[in-house]
Amino acid sequence: MEKRKAGCAALALVLALGCGCGPAAPATRQAGSTPAAQSAPAGEALDEAALAETLRLRCVPDESRLAAFEVRGAGVVPPGGWDEYPLLDEYLVEQGRTWRGWLEADEARRLFAAVFRVKYTPEAAINGPQYAGGVWTVLALLEPAGKDYDIVASSVADIAPDDAPALPEAAELAVTDDQWTILQHQLAALAAGGVWRDYASPADWTEEEFTRWLALRTQSWPGTDGQTLSEAEVLWMVQADFSPENGVWNSADARLEDSGLLDDGLVVLPAAEDPARFFEEQVSVEYFRQLAQDQAADGNAPMRPVDEVVATATIPTQEGEVRMEYRFGLVPPDSGPVSRTWLMEARRLTE
């Protein structure tokens, strides 16, 4: 498998749905469908696209947390379709009645439904998003306000499994979408980091090299500003990229203490540009899967198979092109918060 890094450039709209409108009991329906939704009654001033956008904004967007966002549909749900949503039987404290009771109190009020497909980045999943990704059905209560409508309340009524097909690059390499996405982020930081020699982990780097990697890697780590990180965030980053387990990289604490990065519990980073553009435009990578043999922790135990992704990167530098081989292990979806890749070894290739 060979190509210039395409990564997730085909993602449509990158917006977060860490909704302040919390999920309610799921309704039983086909993923992504809103059979009860329909256009507003004739002559009624209701901008469905604008309402869907308002709902998105109410759900606290944070584009660094999402790999994909898609509006599947939006529309008014007529009274005949209300039974599709158990949420309507829940109590609205501020209104002193249930959702259904509030709607039935005034026939001019409307129930509005929007369906969003939400896909978190693997880094966001590692950090533990408040709500699961998937196909979201978001309901809103609308109150007439002059020629428009005000949203009185909104909530996620249903989260169905993501039904989108696998990314072509992930399918070709036989990895999950999350493994492919985090692999691109990891490679971008490594390729731009300037460490052109053999190593097995950041423990083999200098403090300057470690600092630079942190500054580069944080560009694709959600919830960071690229300037300061908590020590816990740094440990998560190192753990995610260099460990097959969910345990913390043991030498990270000491390296942070020795690096001079810690300032009142925060890690202050040097300025760094997002390495994604450099990686996409200037670095070429060949990928292949390999089943290798690895010695188990018990030296007397037999060799065990290890499933790897090998990425050979050709990287332009001021001294000419450098070829680096990066070997990544695979963490499956059932072995942690998210399926991911982790760096097992890097080595410089010579002609």
Asked whether the predicted pLDDT for residue 27 surpasses 50, the reply is no
Q: What is the pLDDT of residue 313?
A: 98
- pLDDT of 252 > 90? The answer is no
Taking phi over 0 as left and psi of -120 to 50 as alpha, with beta for the rest, 230 belongs to beta
Cβ neighbours for 143, distance < 8 A, ≥ 6 positions apart: 109, 149, 150, 151, 152
Distance CA 326, CA 73 (A): 42
DSSP-based three-state secondary structure for 169? helix
Alpha helices in 160-201 (DSSP H): 168-173, 177-192
**CB-based contacts of 178, cutoff 8 Å, min separation 6:** 122, 125, 333, 338, 339, 340
Could you tell me the residue ranges of all domains in the chain?
2-160, 168-349
Instruction: Check residue 23 and report its DSSP letter.
Output: B
pLDDT at 45: 62
Local confidence band at 180 (pLDDT 50, 70, 90 cut-offs): very high
Lowest mean pLDDT among 78-92, 160-174, 296-310, 336-350: 296-310
Average pLDDT over residues 309-329: 96
CB neighbours of 299 closer than 8 A, spacing ≥ 6?
Answer: none
Among 107-116, 251-260, 293-302, which is the least confidently predicted range?
A: 293-302
Contact 210, 255 (CB under 8 A): yes
The pLDDT value given to residue 344: 94
Residue 235 has pLDDT above 90, yes or no: no
- Reply yes or no on whether the pLDDT at 198 is more than 90: yes
Nearest to 29 by CA among 118, 135, 100: 135
Q: What is the DSSP string of 263-301?
A: ETTEEE------THHHHHHH-EEEEEEEEEEE--SSTTS
Indicate whether 3 pLDDT > 60. no
1/311 Cα distance (integer angstroms): 10
Confidence of residue 75 (pLDDT cuts 50, 70, 90): very high
Angle, in degrees to the nearest 10, between helices 231-242 and 207-217? 90
**Closest CA relative to residue 239, chosen from 343, 129, 323, 100:** 343
Residue 13's pLDDT band (cuts 50, 70, 90): very low
**Predicted TM-score (pTM) of this structure:** 0.77
The two beta strands, 148-160 and 228-230, are unpaired
**DSSP string across 81-122:** GGGG-GGGGSEETTTTEEHHHHHHT-TT-EEEEEEEEEEE-H
Residue 28: the pLDDT is 35
pLDDT over 60 at 250, yes or no: no
- According to DSSP, the residues that pair with 153 across neighbouring strands are 141
pLDDT at 42 over 60: no
- Residue that is written with structure tokens 């007439």 in the block: 144
- Token digits of residue 347: 């080595």
